[in-house]
Amino acid sequence: MKKLVFLTMLLCSTLLSTFALQQSGASISSIDSLRNVFNTVKNDSVKARAALLLANNLMFEQKDTVAATGYLGAAQKLCTTKPYLKALYTYYSASHIFMTAGETDECLQLYKQAAVMLEKFKTKEAYEFWVKAWWNYAMIIDHKDDRKGMVRIQVDKIIPEAIKQKDYNQAAKSYQSIGFAFKEIGDQEKGIYYFKKGLELYEKYPLSKERHAISLLNLAREYVESRELNLAKSYLLKSEQILDTLQESLAHLNYGETASMYYCAKNDFTKALEVAEKALKIAERLNMPYEIGMMHYQKFNIYFSLEKYELALKELKIVMRDMPYDMTSNMQQFAKDLSDTYAKLKDYPNAYKWLGKHVAIKDSLAQAAYKSEIAGLETKFRTAEKNEKIMRLEFEQKQTVLQQKNQRLYNYILGIFSLVLLFLLGLSVYLYRQHRKRSQRDMELLAQQQELRVTKALLEGEELERHRVARDLHDGLGGHLTAMRLQISSEGNLPVLDGIKSQLDQMIADVRLIAHNMMPENLSRSGLLVALEDLCTSMQHGAVAIELQCNGLSNNIAENMQVNIYRIIQELINNAIRHGNADQIIVQCLQNEQGFLIGVDDNGKGFDVEAVVEANGGMGLKNVQMRVEYLNGKMNILSQPGAGTSVNIEIHV
């Protein structure tokens, strides 16, 4: 009984530690980066993910409930129209409730809801969140004593999908949790079976070494309790080989308790105490209160066996001081241990006092079991009465059923015949409609493909023509003008030629500027970032101020894609200046794993977006839209008269 109470505590502690691991997030240093993304990015999907990660990291790393709640609320507004993000929001909401309110019914239902919502998505990330949701749900119902439900979720849901996804670490972990469940209900044979199922995966695949060691120790503990000490020793030795390669962890504490139990079973109490002391020091260094209490309880058992009752009493008081013993089963065990220890110390008043508490708790448990048994008998009695009434009613109804049998049979045949006809008619209509839908989809797809080919040809032709004209301007007209300038300069510094020289200098500069705008050489020479910086600098004039903000831009983007991005930004700036009369323009570019984001905001006079779209827009806007579609991107325009314009573009690179 002593061991069973604290083995249960070890199980709960292990599962809670696992639960915490499920909530792993980014380091504290990433919180500022996430805040920067949330505050600067215009794309709702990116902002929603940043808000969810911020809420999670602030709660689990900094315990900042207020800030975490604020970001979770912001994420909720951004996720309403996106099913996958809504599923992630549901998962993070459950985790938030777990941290703030504990294992409530709302937390439980949100994890289940998140798992159901994630089932329709087949990505690796969706699977990982799906597993976390079901695992946390299973652990909570296990803590609520629904072990059958926990096992059912592991067997029916998590393990099959984990094996399908080749996530053997998760499958092995699930087998271990099932083994603990059978152990708790006293079915040692099935417990060992599932412990070995998990161990097979750890030995077959390169999985977590720490969990591999714990699975070996679970089996060692089972064999210690069944007094099969040779088998227990073999598993202990295997675990030692793994633990020697690891830093101090929960597995070392598990080894300390199991090895101590093993040496106690062999009556080698000196070795048992040495192992327990070593594990206690590790638990103190790792600051793990439950495990510290368990090591003190193990020392209590050792000192009691060694008849060192004063030392045993001291260890037991430490356990009662530092561990939660208000559970009825723990209170009963502590009362019995204290009564036995005081009796050995001949402190009979205290021994009698704690024996009385032990009996009182035992009687209360027995009374609760008695009441439960009475309630069960009453339920059976009422069920029997209902069954008798049901049988009598069934007998009375048999005569009526017999009389109606032939009529029903006729009705069934007629009904089945009618249903077959309706089914065939419905099937024909359905197949016809499906054929029409497929034909329509095929036509739309061909039209889209044709439009994409035309767009691609137009854009490529436009860029080739720009390149040709720019080359001709630079090498042809620009060269002639330069030669003319040199020839005039060679005639001397005649006053009449000064005006001509000045005009020629201006013409040469204008030709170079036009050639540069048509095909910027620094785009291919120095990359997109430098080209955009030069573009913004060149388009600033007078009171017009253009600010460029870039983050994460790399040179691994295809050259044609860089050209189109450059043209899009060039056209948007030009529109803001020419049509919007803007004097303040902010250009934002962000490249990340999800794609390339462009944002251009101005303080111009704005326009009615719907009216412009219905009128098929201007040539500049059409060019931008055509390039965005060519890049398989999306564009969103926010504007109204007198309120400026904000254009956001998302491109997959």
| Residue 241, both tokens | 């080989």
> How many angstroms separate the CA atoms of 262 and 235, rounded?
11
Beta 645-651 vs 595-602: how paired, if at all? Answer: antiparallel
**pLDDT (tens digit, 9 = 90+) per residue, 446-481?**
655 665 565 555 556 565 556 656 555 555 565 566
Beta 634-639 vs 645-651: how paired, if at all? Answer: antiparallel
List residues bridging with 646 in a β-sheet: 601, 638
> Would you call 448 helix, strand, or coil by DSSP?
helix
**Locus of tokens 């009529």:** 407
Direct distance between the N- and C-terminal alpha carbons of the chain, in angstroms, rounded to an integer: 63
**Locus of tokens 């499920």:** 22
Q: Give the model's pLDDT for residue 308.
A: 92
Looking at every residue in the chain, the average pLDDT score rounds to 80
Look at residue 28 and tell me whether its pLDDT is greater than 60: no
Could you tell me if 110 and 92 are in contact, meaning their C-beta atoms sit under 8 angstroms apart? no
Give 329-344 as a DSSP string: HHHHHHHHHHHHHHHH
| Residue 515, both tokens | 């050639």
Q: Flag the least confident range among 4-13, 285-294, 342-351.
A: 4-13
Question: pLDDT higher for 194 or 527?
Answer: 194
Q: Give the model's pLDDT for residue 58.
A: 86
> Would you call 124 helix, strand, or coil by DSSP?
helix
Could you tell me if 641 and 606 are in contact, meaning their C-beta atoms sit under 8 angstroms apart? yes
Q: Give the model's pLDDT for residue 275.
A: 93
| Residue 364, both tokens | 């209360």
Domains of the chain: 526-651 (3.30.565.10)
Q: Flag the least confident range among 1-5, 87-91, 569-573.
A: 1-5
Q: Give the model's pLDDT for residue 441.
A: 79
> How many angstroms separate the CA atoms of 95 and 139, rounded?
13
> Would you call 288 helix, strand, or coil by DSSP?
coil
Length of the chain (residues)? 653
Look at residue 326 and tell me whether its pLDDT is greater than 70: no
> How many angstroms separate the CA atoms of 308 and 304, rounded?
6
Cα angle 124, 130, 135 (rounded to 5 degrees) comes to 130
User: pTM for this one?
Assistant: 0.50
| Residue 465, both tokens | 């023509």
Share of the chain above pLDDT 90, in %: 30
Element (H, E) at 183: helix 168-184
- Residue 53 has φ and ψ, to the nearest 5°, of -65, -35
Q: Give the model's pLDDT for residue 463.
A: 59
Taking alpha carbons only, the member of 406, 405, 402 closest to residue 394 is: 402
Give the mean model confidence (pLDDT) for residues 630-644: 88
> How many angstroms separate the CA atoms of 522 and 532, rounded?
9
> How many angstroms separate the CA atoms of 459 and 450, rounded?
14
Q: Flag the least confident range among 20-24, 100-104, 440-444.
A: 20-24
- Residue 528 has φ and ψ, to the nearest 5°, of -65, -40
Give the mean model confidence (pLDDT) for residues 305-311: 92
